[in-house]
Structure 1
Amino acid sequence: MRALQYFPTIEDPNTRRTLFEVLQWILMGTDVVKNVNKNNASHAVLFEALALVMHLDAEKEMMSQCVALLGKFIAVREPNIRYLGLENMTRMLIVADVQESIKRHQAQIITSLKDPDISICRRALDLLYGMCDITNAKDIVEELLQYLNSADFTMREELSLKAAILAEKFAPDLSWYVDVILQLIEKAGDFISDDIWFRVVQFVTNNDDLQPYAAAKAKEYLDKPAVDEKMVKVCAYILGEYSHLLARRPGCSPKEIFSIIHEKLPSVSTTTIPLLLSAYAKILMHTQPPDQVLQNQIWTIFTKYESCIDAEIQQRAVEYFALSRKGAAVMDILAEMPKFPERQSSLIKKAEDAEADTAEQSALKLRAQQQPSNALVVTDQHPSNGEPLPVFVGQLSVVKAPNTNNTEDHYSTEPVLSQENGNLSQVDQQPPSADPLSDLLGPLAIEGPPGATVQYENSAVSGLESGPDVVDGSAIVPVEVGTNTIQPIGNIAVRFHALCLKDSGVLYEDPYIQIGIKAEWRAHQGRLVLFLGNKNTSPLVSVQALILPPAHLKMELSLVPDTIPPRAQVQCPLEVVNLRPSRDVAVLDFSYKFGTHMVNIKLRLPVVLNKFLQPLPVSAEEFFPQWRSLSGPPLKLQEVVRGVRPMALPEMANLLHSYRIAISPGLDPNPNNLVASTTFYSENTRAIVCLVRIETDPADRTQLRMTVASGDPTLTFELKEFIKEQLVSIPTVAQAPTPAPPAAPPTPQIPPNDPAALLADLL
């Protein structure tokens, strides 16, 4: 049956009829039995038959029979069969017209959405997203909203995104759409991208009848005691523009609206304050003749922020204060925002393009693919007002936010440029931002059940899994085929791995630009400065830099100037918060234009797992109680690693030390073994001690046995895989700053109570 899928669709009616008889016999003769081995064998045949039915484009009646069969499988207790049933039902939905048949199983699919296994939840979500139309959209979206409260945190971003797409695509009326988006922001504000609330603002701006309703809902949500910062943004914007439409309602006077918004000011970050100042200016504009008490209150706020260190906040405060004293003329200056140009949502357009592309693929191609992407590209990067909006690509969010510009002296901003570039002047020299409220007010990220996605899901691609050859082939991505002829200077992979070991150096260089990095790390937080140096006597224009962080990192890049002057260097601070253990790596998407050359490069950033480690030498009295308390999987994992780069034991100790893992000599009696420890920091786990033991074979340096233990299952797995990658595939590109002491030689005899003897017994 698999071989037949490599051939074109069979046209001969007699052959098709004979083949479909066989397939129908297989489909109708397969059921779930108690014998596990028989189940596995029969279902292997069954799902191959389903793939062949899809490939041959069978008649609708037979497709409906396949859907009915899959409907039985998604209701069984065995999770593997439920998963495969949901996956194949999704594929059938893509390649055949069986939507009405699948709708009959909607209740069971919604039940699968709430399954404890996150992989089954993801497949159920994909299927619900694909089967949704105008007839069932309201029910499905309401189920997604209800599930959002209890959904695994790793799913909330994808779930929110798909609910927003469905709400916009199939909304019975715009007020329902506004309700859905506001509920999404209330339930999962930290997982909602800005472009989703941007879209709500566009709808409200373009529909006069919707404006009073949206303003009333915004007041209702903002009046609650605990409000997410994204909710503050969207509600403050809507109330600033349209609160005057509620003037005749009780509790909606300009002074009361201002009071509701102003209550949130102390709890928001510096990126939200400019929006609140705009709302204050709009409220003041709508109260003509002005209320003197309200006017004085708002003027006091503008005066306070006229000396703010943040340039955006300062400029708005100065200009709004000046504008608000122009009397009735302010009505024209601060009039309502004009309507946005009518155009199809890029969110929906991308979804439709993806569906159209996939529908043309055969079942064979579908099966050969990896698991489908968890999210769609949400929005156009260039809306009508000319400001770039953040987007989501897969599970990677793009952040381009203004710098908060708060200075801390202990963060150096020295330029990172090689000597061959000559003397470059420096412009826009700004230290990294330091928001004193960021620790308290940043979004809370709590990890779901560790290992829940291992059974079926492909994890995100780790930046350290691919060797240098792979990286070099894909590190530079041309904007247009044939136009990106600029070649990098030096090996990009080697530069990246060097920066994984040290905190300053050159990340990328070509004939026109050099990108350097200087970083400092403290527990689960990091601050980097990107140094963009123009090596030529002509400016670099159309400069853009976007950060694509994995889900476990919260990253904010300051605004990157559009032009880099000749022979100049600009500095762009980048704030990093590590939310949980992961080996996934952030990507810098950087582009610029020099003359006729348009260059676009995608570079891995050295924000890797070892940056959040601190070496922790431990004594025998500290080591053994912790080692004994971590008795086995998933807190203690052991693996025989083969294909290790041959290296002497001191070299291996130096390598571990360079990755911030401290060697504890003398704890293991075997001179061919290493015992090490470190502390891992993240916002979710805080400080966790990790213990490592490596047993080598003197006769075969290409293999070893490694045991890793910690109090967090995900951390144990990620650290084990990280160390294995360093030992197997990552070339040594830099030495440790200070070599770790070698393991102590064995003593001729071990006393009965010696800790080393106890360790040998334990391990």
Structure 2
Amino acid sequence: MALSGMRGLSVFISDVRNCQNKEQERLRVDKELGNIRIRFKNEKGLTPYEKKKYVWKMLYIYMLGYDVDFGHMEAVSLISAPKYPEKQVGYIVTSCLLNENHDFLRLAINSVRNDIIGRNETFQCLALTMVGNIGGREFAESLAPDVQKLLISSSCRPLVRKKAALCLLRLYRKNPDVVNVDGWSDRMTQLLDERDMGVLTSVMSLLVALVSNNHDAYWNCLPKCVKTLERLARNQDIPQEYTYYGIPSPWLQVKTMRVLQYFPTIEDPNTRRSLFDVLQRILMGTDVVKNVNKNNASHAVLFEALALVMHLDAEKEMMSQCVALLGKFIAVREPNIRYLGLENMTRMLMVTDVQDIIKRHQAQIITSLKDPDISIRRRALDLLYGMCDVTNAKDIVEELLQYLSTADFAMREELALKAAILAEKFAPDLSWYVDVILQLIDKAGDFVSDDIWFRVVQFVTNNEDLQPYAAAKAREYLDKPALHETMVKVSAYLLGEYSHLLARRPGCSPKEIFAIIHEKLPTVSTATVAILLSTYAKILMHTQPPDPELQQQIWAIFNKYESYIDAEIQQRAVEYFVLSRKGVALMDILAEMPKFPERQSALLKKAEDTEVDTAEQSAIKLRTQQQTSNALTVTDQPPVNGSVPVSQLTLVKMPSTTYNKDANFVEQGLTQANGTSSRLDSQTSLPSEDLLGDLLGPLAIEGPPGAGVPTEQNMVSGLEASPNESDALALAPIGEQSNSVQPIGNIAERFHALCLKDSGVLYEDPYIQIGIKADWRAHQGRLVLFLGNKNTSPLLSVQALILPPAHLKMELSLVPETIPPRAQVQCPLEVVNIRPSRDVAVLDLSYKFGTTMVNVKLRLPAVLNKFLHPISMSAEEFFPQWRSLTGPPLKLQEVVRGVKPLSLPEMANLFNSFQLTVSPGLDPNPDNLVASSTFYSESTRAMLCLIRVETDPSDRTQLRMTVASGDPALTFELKEFIKEQLVSIPTAPSTPPAPQTQPPVATAGLTDPGAMLAGLL
């Protein structure tokens, strides 16, 4: 924009830039908008220069992010101005301020058309640019024919024709049914003879859109495209300005090869030969050089050529050449080039007879599996998975199993799934398949879905020769001291069905089998207890004649669980006890499971559902896996019918995998086999992923092996008992993930400190320091996370994920995967408060230092009081508002006991620190205090909050609190928030609060309604 000579605009821009804060900027902008509005009302007195100046100001204000809801007509009217400066402003501002459906655009169509069909090339370019940018349907209907005439006109300069081609491309993409391209095949053929490279590049872009919609109509363009490619490959008549680092117009080469990929095949032998000569030249002439820009351009051409070679199904010799070239790429140090090599090699697997050639690079691909970059590791895994067959399955699966123990947590589930599928598809014998699955479960039980062990049970059940071997392997694994619960499940099932086949082996008598399985009972969850009960019943069934001692032991267990709180386990225990007294008849009732019907593997279907190809899809999948992993959720019981419920903090262990309905038949079969056979009541089926049961049942949290039934003390695994349960959420490790790295300082204290101030350290350990700086405005906030590497070695595999509660919208900018030594990175985090709530957001951070993997979950101080704005009120303002809010749910009152004794000034300071302004002297009783504030959220906007606290001078450990606002949810949440702060005022966390030894005292000052401000409050 040429702003010289427009003093008023320059002064306005300087004024805006000199504003000290956002409020000053808004005031200056509002003043200017008011001035512009007044001047536009008296439009007749405006000169063209003044109108242009004010429209420029409107555009600048719009670019600053402010709404400009007037002056559109003035901007549109400048399009018809006779002079270039005013016309330029009209076109630019109209393109920016108005969308394609705006009514004012209809008024400009005639002016725009006059410029397009006129003789002034500058005006034509302005009009074509605006039409292309807006691309509306009415523009397409009215102006597309004129744009088409400009494109094929021999009298127009190349600059205009280039813009006409791009404008027509935009109109066609937006409105393919409106733009008439019938019979354009011959015209496009003529346009492909264009010698001007700019026009030819624009025309090729248009041709890509046309052939993607209907390639049959443009067959006569194909030879011209090949000739264009030949011209570029031989660098014939290519102007210097279109040569990029020695590469003739790489953009045009890529577009031309993209066009050729839309045609199904090329029949003409001469054309095909010419094209393959060009592709051969590209393949031979591309290499990795030090210049990054040249690499980018040459590789863009190369990979488009590879895609075309695959599309044309070239001869095997050329395919071998392509694979050899990609083999060089996956061996270089530059990670971007390695990634592209692996990705394109994966795509080449779709071509027949290439797999054997790719196998030659198997060792290098396996090396990429250990690359520091997770995206490269993912591509290497995809490639290994795709290139696996009977000949190399054993080597690849063994490599995957070896890599599994050191792989990132984000990859382990996919890794386990693919290893299981490869073992199933290409197993040289079934015993090897059983070995692989059991190793999978042993090494990565947390990441092995139930579908995998369901599948191995199907194979063992359907193959009698495999049953003794599988039972023996399961018996071996049970000797291990630490065993994953999934291994307990599959071992118990296999030994329940087939342990009688091992009776003659040492250590495999029914008593010994029962004893070693029973050792695991106290360490497992409810779902596994049900399987173990079924196993005990099966062992009794196979022990004929019965062993009295073993029988008594098992009956004692059934008796114990007959009164268990879980209905499923209770029913099994009762039924098994009754059935086991039937003697030989038990053999018929608990007969072995029949063979499963042959169906498509649920694992294969799951892999198809989760198949990824591009880097973007991989990133989406990674985020999804992280968001559905063992996540911490803090929930509160909402108000019901205006009542005041007791706040609940619940830790919910979210399932990391989704229950697959296709595996249901396996699951039911397992239940029937381990239960009382299919003849029993159907209520005995036991879904292993019963989410509702997980949330509502007695074992809402699965502890690690050895935890047994979780109690209130060990509900947060890996943390010592805390004086306040919410403090334990500050670190919140999950499941069995316990870090060997200890934090520096008290995490809960740091969190509470940041709830009161806007900057400080959130977390620190020997390797990393996480700081926060925040800015809160109304219902929005901007936090900056400072991640600092404290060491002389880099932090690798850095991943940060925000787990927001439902009432917050949070967006974290990209976190770099590596933090260099002694470096600090800044990651902005945008926060929007949707509605009042005390739930907290959690930062899930993981990184790797050397061989140490650290994962922490930290509460973020985006808490309720951050969206409060202090406001001071006089008696004349306070009392009318207080009286207007009458009774629940808008006004809630509660007697709070167990408060830490505070003097009234100390309590007032505490309230002020939470943005609740205490108004001294407003309450005539000197032992009471009154506070007010304004709460901001998207749903409530600015909402006044009023608080009154009545204290008892004789007992400072209790008080009566009344909270009022215009929103029931806000009233409840604010009351509970203040109560939590008063009851658990942060002190040294190592010292638990002293228990109340004396009963609460009901004092008249707290319970007598007549004490309330003498009727004023």
Q: Establish whether TM, by shorter chain, passes 0.5.
A: yes
1:524–1:682 contact (8 Å) kept in structure 2: no
Shift of 1:625: 5.2
Instruction: Return the letter of the residue paired with 2:665.
Output: P
CA pair 622-678 structure 1, distance change in 2 beyond 3 A: farther
1:677–1:690 contact (8 Å) kept in structure 2: no
Gap regions ≥5 residues in structure 2:
1-252, 626-656, 672-686, 709-724, 739-747, 784-803, 811-830, 833-837, 846-853, 867-936, 942-966, 976-1017
CA pair 30-337 structure 1, distance change in 2 beyond 3 A: same
SS of equivalent to 1:189: helix
* CA distance in 1 between partners of 2:461 and 2:491 (Å): 13
2:263 is the alignment partner of 1:8: yes
SS of equivalent to 1:340: coil
* CA distance in 2 between partners of 1:252 and 1:657 (Å): 51
Q: Mean Cα displacement is larger for which, 60-69 or 228-237?
A: 60-69
Structure 1 residue aligned with 2:665: 383
1:73–1:82 contact (8 Å) kept in structure 2: yes
Return the match for 2:753 from 605, 618, 624: 618
- After superposition, give the CA deviation of every residue in 1:458-487 in whole Å (9 maximum; x if it has no partner): xxxxxxxxxxxxxxxxxxxxxxxxxxxxxx
Q: Mean Cα displacement is larger for which, 252-261 or 684-693?
A: 684-693
Return the match for 1:274 from 524, 530, 537: 530
Shift of 1:283: 0.7
Shift of 1:97: 3.5
Instruction: Return the letter of the residue paired with 2:453.
Output: W
* CA distance in 2 between partners of 1:303 and 1:31 (Å): 75
SS of equivalent to 1:326: helix
* CA distance in 2 between partners of 1:296 and 1:134 (Å): 50
SS of equivalent to 1:303: helix
* CA distance in 2 between partners of 1:188 and 1:657 (Å): 30
Structure 1 residue aligned with 2:485: 229
- After superposition, give the CA deviation of every residue in 1:357-416 in whole Å (9 maximum; x if it has no partner): x9xxxxxxx879845978999782442675799xxxxxxxx97327668xxxxxxxxxxx
2:310–2:351 contact (8 Å) kept in structure 1: yes
What are the equivalent positions in structure 2 for 1:314-713 lying under 5 Å apart? 314-348=570-604, 370-371=617-618, 380-383=662-665, 386=668, 400-401=689-690, 431-435=696-700, 438=703, 618=753, 626=761, 635=770, 649-652=777-780, 659=807, 680=842, 688=858, 690=860
* CA distance in 2 between partners of 1:242 and 1:620 (Å): 59
2:307 is the alignment partner of 1:307: no
Structure 1 residue aligned with 2:434: 178
1:185–1:231 contact (8 Å) kept in structure 2: yes
SS of equivalent to 1:626: strand
Shift of 1:344: 3.7
Residue-pair matches, total: 493
- After superposition, give the CA deviation of every residue in 1:677-708 in whole Å (9 maximum; x if it has no partner): 97737698556364689x9xxxxxxxxxxxxx
CA pair 116-205 structure 1, distance change in 2 beyond 3 A: same
2:354 is the alignment partner of 1:192: no
2:324 is the alignment partner of 1:71: no
2:407 is the alignment partner of 1:151: yes
2:497 is the alignment partner of 1:241: yes
Instruction: Return the letter of the residue paired with 1:680.
Output: V
Larger radius of gyration: 2
* CA distance in 1 between partners of 2:424 and 2:496 (Å): 24
Shift of 1:28: 1.4
More helix by share: 2
CA pair 404-385 structure 1, distance change in 2 beyond 3 A: closer
Identity of aligned residues (%): 63
CA pair 130-34 structure 1, distance change in 2 beyond 3 A: same
Instruction: Return the letter of the residue paired with 2:703.
Output: S
2:805–2:839 contact (8 Å) kept in structure 1: no
CA pair 68-636 structure 1, distance change in 2 beyond 3 A: farther
SS of equivalent to 2:842: strand
More strand by share: 1
Instruction: Return the letter of the residue paired with 1:8.
Output: F
Structure 2 residue aligned with 1:38: 294
* CA distance in 1 between partners of 2:809 and 2:752 (Å): 9
Instruction: Supply the RMSD in Å over aligned alpha carbons.
Output: 4.8
Shift of 1:19: 1.7
Shift of 1:45: 2.0
- After superposition, give the CA deviation of every residue in 1:303-351 in whole Å (9 maximum; x if it has no partner): 0000001011101111111111111111111121111123342433676
Structure 2 residue aligned with 1:297: 553
CA pair 651-76 structure 1, distance change in 2 beyond 3 A: closer
2:844–2:855 contact (8 Å) kept in structure 1: yes
CA pair 289-682 structure 1, distance change in 2 beyond 3 A: farther
2:510–2:539 contact (8 Å) kept in structure 1: yes
Shift of 1:50: 1.5
Instruction: Return the letter of the residue paired with 1:400.
Output: E
Shift of 1:657: 12
* CA distance in 2 between partners of 1:654 and 1:105 (Å): 48
SS of equivalent to 1:737: helix
Structure 1 residue aligned with 2:518: 262
Q: Which has the higher contact order (CA 8 A, sep 6+)?
A: 1
2:523–2:706 contact (8 Å) kept in structure 1: yes
TM-score by length of 1: 0.56
* CA distance in 1 between partners of 2:615 and 2:859 (Å): 41
SS of equivalent to 1:110: helix
Structure 1 residue aligned with 2:51: none
Instruction: Return the letter of the residue paired with 1:224.
Output: K
* CA distance in 1 between partners of 2:840 and 2:702 (Å): 29
SS of equivalent to 1:2: helix
Shift of 1:66: 0.6
Shift of 1:290: 1.0
* CA distance in 1 between partners of 2:503 and 2:436 (Å): 25
2:471–2:495 contact (8 Å) kept in structure 1: yes
SS of equivalent to 1:89: helix
TM-score by length of 2: 0.43
2:533–2:573 contact (8 Å) kept in structure 1: yes
1:64–1:101 contact (8 Å) kept in structure 2: yes
What are the equivalent positions in structure 2 for 1:74-89 lying under 5 Å apart? 74-89=330-345
* CA distance in 1 between partners of 2:336 and 2:774 (Å): 26
Instruction: Return the letter of the residue paired with 2:480.
Output: K
CA pair 403-315 structure 1, distance change in 2 beyond 3 A: farther
* CA distance in 2 between partners of 1:8 and 1:634 (Å): 56
Structure 1 residue aligned with 2:370: 114
CA pair 441-42 structure 1, distance change in 2 beyond 3 A: farther
* CA distance in 1 between partners of 2:584 and 2:527 (Å): 30
SS of equivalent to 2:534: helix
1:240–1:280 contact (8 Å) kept in structure 2: yes
Instruction: Return the letter of the residue paired with 1:56.
Output: L
Shift of 1:188: 0.5
Shift of 1:618: 3.2
1:524–1:681 contact (8 Å) kept in structure 2: no
